[in-house]
Amino acid sequence: MTQSRKLLLIDGHSVAYRAFFALPVDNFATSTGQHTNAVFGFTSMLINVLRDEQPTHLAVAFDVSRQSFRTTEYPEYKATRSASPTEFKGQVTLVKDVLDAMSIVHLEKDGYEADDLIATLSTQAVAEGFEVFIVTGDRDAMQLVNDHVTVLYPRKGVSDLARMTPQTVAEKYLVEPSRYPELAALVGESSDNLPGVPGVGPKTAAKWLDQFDGLDNLVARAEQVPGKAGESFRTHLADVVRNRRLNALLRDLALDISIDDTARREWDRERVHELFDALEFRVLRERLLELGPAEPVTVESFTVEGARLQEGQVRGWLAEHAVGRTAVHFAGTWGSGTGDLTALALAAADGAGAYLDTAELTPEDDAAVAEWLADPEHPKAVHGAKGPTLACWARGWQLDGVAQDTLLASYLLRPDQRTYDLADLVLRHLQRELSTQESSPGDAQLAFDFTEDDAEAVDTALLHARAVFDLAEVLDRELDERNGTELMRSVELPLQTTLATMEKLGIAVEAGRLQSLRDDFDTSVASAQQAAFDVLGHEVNLGSPKQLQGVLFDELGMPKTRRTKSGYTTDAEALESLYEKTQHPFLGHLLAHRDAIRLRQTVDGLLAAVGDDGRIHTSYMQTIAATGRLSSTDPNLQNIPIRTAVGRRIRSAFVPGPEFESLMSADYSQIEMRLMAHASGDEGLIEAFGSGRDFHNEMASKVFRVEPEDVTGEMRAKIKAMNYGLAYGLSAFGLSNQLKISVGEARELMDDYFSRVGGVKAYLEGIVEQARKDGYTETMLGRRRYLPDLTSSNRQRREMAERAALNSPIQGSAADVIKVAMINVGRALRAEGLQSRMLLQVHDELVFEVAPGEQEALTELAQREMAGAFSLRVPLEVSIGVGDSWESAAH
């Protein structure tokens, strides 16, 4: 055998189906609603096996349908298998898309099963001297195992694969691999609906096969088999013969590919990026890129020249080389509103490079660096400037003149991408590896003056700086081509400084009040748990799905929820629905227990984030949401409940600092609906906003054709759900779930709604059609979201893209508006010399710390700048509230 030639064969349907049941379907879905647990599990398994087995050849086989030559002979074959879950449908097509992006051969043949294709390829490969590995959850493949063929059989889910060799097959099934189908013919295969001989188990079957030297002899000498088992065997002899005929895998099919066609090929990196962006597989993408393609991609490396500047050389080097745009790589750490710089590497337009260790800078050198960094006339390119800005401030430096941020530029160009790692970007945009050219002896490309200990750090820093410089030039052109330069210049870059300022300031909290809340939630957890036990009359682990299944469906006899491989689901959505139907007190206490645990975890995160200054310094992320919205992390202040009593108690712990008199909350009222009115030009919406009365009440009056004073609370609630749902591509099914009404009633409500706002319906339909033509959607400020799947032949991917096209323009425009408002508010605060400060952005709300005597001025400033951030056909209404805590400032 030639060990270097390995063929990996995968049963696509088998693995995908196992992955579906191994991973919770509710935990794996895109933001547009496409379920992805089977695709995720399959792809994860694939990456693991490629890493562990290092195959040189690879193919994936699929079933065409449940119909095959076996069902023609025996219609009951596999007839007991249940229909595939709705959430699974369409995921096999997405698995095939993953394989296409990775340039992996996949095949199927009408009338035959994937096992037959695998058996044929395996037989051919062994004849050509290959070592073969087969990944499948179908035990029929055990008959293929020999000294050159190993089956990798899933033991649990798809991540734990047992290596089935001739020895392990014999140990587990009591027969050698070639006789496994003979044993299966005798004992039956429940998964294939092939009945065995009653009263004959594996031990008896194995004994017979050994005694008679195989099934053929056993059948021929059936009269010699003694006892009741022998009588049962003779009675069911026809079933055994049929079973053996059906479970024999075909090894000589005529296929459209040869073994040579399965050789591993380079991946289509751009296709991988686009697909993994659509599926939102951030972690898997990173694992895949770490794995690397089967064959190295032909790319260039970087030629880097640089020097470690010595004492007194900094000012001269900057004056000579850093005159045009210069890339800066900052080495250090940052977060929680501060940071620390350990080194800088510079890459200049003339090819020169420089490395500076901040610990070695003399006062004169330090001053030269600070002066250059702070000069806006010296344009700079950075990859992710917000963190380094915080680190510069902590050192007493200012970072100004950032003309290009390759992190933000990459995000604007591909907002659906889930990672913007520099190495990945230079490979994607420059076709280069983030490594240096191999130099011939005596031809040093890296001319540094450094010790052996830190040579690698210097090398890496200079390399990163040069990569940022070259990448920035390419991204400049792409931004121009995609109309993104102005958005970068006027919104995203200045917003970075605004966000860094807010992160540095943080917001004061009363830690004692948070700790008291934490104690209360502890009590609530224990109380809800005990109340649940009291209802049952015994204890149960409320965190165990298995024990809950026994209590809910066996002990209490409740209606069954959605079926999963491990039983009936006990996820939050299913239990809430079950509680609405039954109102059983145990479920009420169980849900209260879960809520209390979740809220306790929220408060734990807040307590852990309180700094030495008594303030929480969250971090804002500009590159997470594809629509342009900001995200908050460490801690996430956007997940504090807004409209609940508990959420209000948490917000009451956020207070003004000692030198400030109050907090102010300013937020946009119904901003997305106002943007919808502006974009669609719908007269009904515009009139409702122009009335000056309650918007939802006005819309309910129009839809239900009653006077405004006759609108009931139920009417208003229904229309409010419609209003807010418009910006998210709300479907009749989604509306029915929200309002707890039938899909038919929801569809009728939507029809009535759109009959009164026909301009909105036309606008939404036009968005998708225009995006299909252009390939992208666009916000009012020109933020684009490219959606290549709008023209995909894959229905699932096309529908995902259509949902994204529906919600991106309005949500993205709302994000643009509040970003512009933040920038303008920050400038106005500085221009007017106010001591009040902007601290937080949460959704459509800004939170300020009000300095003594400045409440009136700050109110006028916030109203003016926020309302004036964008000119619409309807007014941008801003609500202002002031109080001694975030909660009391609410309005």
Q: What CATH number corresponds to the domain at position 326? A: 3.30.420.10
Alpha-carbon separation of residue 679 from 30, 387, 484, 671, 688 (angstroms): 27, 36, 20, 12, 15
- Say what the pLDDT of residue 565 is: 62
| Last-in-domain residue among 420, 454, 482 | 482
Q: Indicate whether 689 belongs to any domain.
A: no
Q: Is residue 451 located within the same domain as residue 375?
A: yes
Q: What pTM was estimated for this model as a whole? A: 0.76
Q: Position of tokens 């229909």? A: 83
pLDDT, tens only, 64-122: 877 788 887 778 877 777 677 878 878 999 999 999 999 999 999 998 999 999 999 99
pLDDT, tens only, 234-267: 988 888 888 888 888 999 999 999 999 999 988 8
Residue 125: closest CA among 150, 99, 100, 154: 150
Distance CA 602, CA 641 (A): 10
Domain that holds residue 13: 6-169+250-274
Q: Is residue 378 located within the same domain as residue 458?
A: yes
Q: Is residue 352 located within the same domain as residue 262?
A: no
Q: Is residue 311 located within the same domain as residue 257?
A: no
pLDDT, tens only, 392-429: 999 999 999 999 999 999 999 999 887 788 988 888 88
868, HSE (Cβ side, Cα atoms, 13 Å): 10
* DSSP one-letter string for 516-545: HHHHHHHHHHHHHHHHHHHHHTS---TT-H
Q: Is residue 269 located within the same domain as residue 336?
A: no
Q: Is residue 15 located within the same domain as residue 164?
A: yes
Q: Is residue 163 located within the same domain as residue 52?
A: yes
Domain count, the chain: 2
Q: Indicate whether 398 belongs to any domain.
A: yes
Angle, vertex CA 14, rays to CA 10 and CA 15, nearest 5: 65
Residue 494: closest CA among 396, 406, 385: 385
- Say what the pLDDT of residue 324 is: 92
Beta bridge partners of 195: 188
Q: Is residue 100 located within the same domain as residue 160?
A: yes
Does 281 have pLDDT greater than 90? no
Alpha-carbon separation of residue 41 from 2, 30, 44, 91, 240 (angstroms): 31, 15, 5, 11, 36
Q: Please give the helix or strand (H or E) that residue 514 lies within, else none.
A: helix 511-536
Q: Indicate whether 765 belongs to any domain.
A: no
Tokens (6 digits) for 400? 């100004």
Q: Helix crossing, 269-279 with 91-101: angle to 10°?
A: 150
- Say what the pLDDT of residue 283 is: 78
More confident call, 114 vs 456: 114
Q: Is residue 266 located within the same domain as residue 405?
A: no
DSSP 199: T
Q: Indicate whether 105 belongs to any domain.
A: yes
Residue 329: closest CA among 434, 133, 462: 462
Alpha-carbon separation of residue 710 from 251, 325, 602, 694 (angstroms): 76, 65, 41, 13
Band (478; pLDDT cuts 50, 70, 90): very high
Distance CA 769, CA 567 (A): 43
CATH number at residue 17: 3.40.50.1010
Q: Is residue 84 located within the same domain as residue 162?
A: yes
Amino acid identity, position 817: V
Q: Indicate whether 185 belongs to any domain.
A: no
Q: Indicate whether 331 belongs to any domain.
A: yes
* DSSP one-letter string for 140-166: GGGGG-BTTEEEEEEEETTTEEEEE-H
Tokens (6 digits) for 515? 């700790």
| Last-in-domain residue among 416, 448, 482 | 482
592-627 burial: b if 16+ Cβ within 10 Å, else e: bbbbbbebbebbeebbebbeeeebbbbbbbbbbbbb
Instruction: Give the best-scoring range by mean pLDDT among 53-57, 415-419, 566-570, 640-644.
Output: 53-57
Q: What is the bridge-based pairing of β-strands 338-347 and 326-335?
A: antiparallel
User: What helix, strand, coil percent values describe the chain, rounded to 5?
Assistant: 55, 15, 30
Tokens (6 digits) for 14? 């088998």
Q: Is residue 256 located within the same domain as residue 315?
A: no
pLDDT, tens only, 206-231: 999 988 999 889 889 988 988 888 88
Q: Indicate whether 149 belongs to any domain.
A: yes
DSSP 362: -
Distance CA 476, CA 322 (A): 19
Distance CA 806, CA 809 (A): 7
Q: Indicate whether 372 belongs to any domain.
A: yes
708-745 burial: b if 16+ Cβ within 10 Å, else e: eeebeeebbebbbbbbebbbbbbbbebbbebbeeeeee
Q: Is residue 345 located within the same domain as residue 464?
A: yes
DSSP 86: T
| Last-in-domain residue among 457, 482, 507 | 482
How large is the C-alpha radius of gyration of the chain? 33
Tokens (6 digits) for 206? 């194995």
